[in-house]
Amino acid sequence: MHEEVDRQVKALAQDLESDLYRLYQSPMLSGDNLQKALGFSSIDAYRRALARKKLPIPVFQLDDRRGTCTG
């Protein structure tokens, strides 16, 4: 039973990763693309969630770059 669930979760994760890559042509998302992919209505809503540490995924900063990314 657990093996089947694990297989389904892995397949779903692969599909999601493929869809995001096809949409944004990059293995990493930042700025407007990250805001849109997470479903925030505006960049300000995304920034508020970031400041409150309420994003549903881990994000990070790149050296010598502004903003946050995920990948």
Give the tens place of pLDDT for each residue, 13-56. 999 889 989 988 988 888 888 999 999 999 999 999 999 999 99
Q: What is the pTM of this model?
A: 0.71
pLDDT at residue 71 is higher than 80: no
pLDDT at residue 57 is higher than 80: yes
Place of tokens 């039973």: 1
Length of the chain in terms of residues written:
71
Alpha-carbon dihedral sign for residues 38, 43, 44, 50: positive
Amino acid making up residue 31? G
The structure tokens listed for 53 are 């540490």
Contacts of 37 (CB under 8 A, 6+ apart): 20, 23, 24, 29
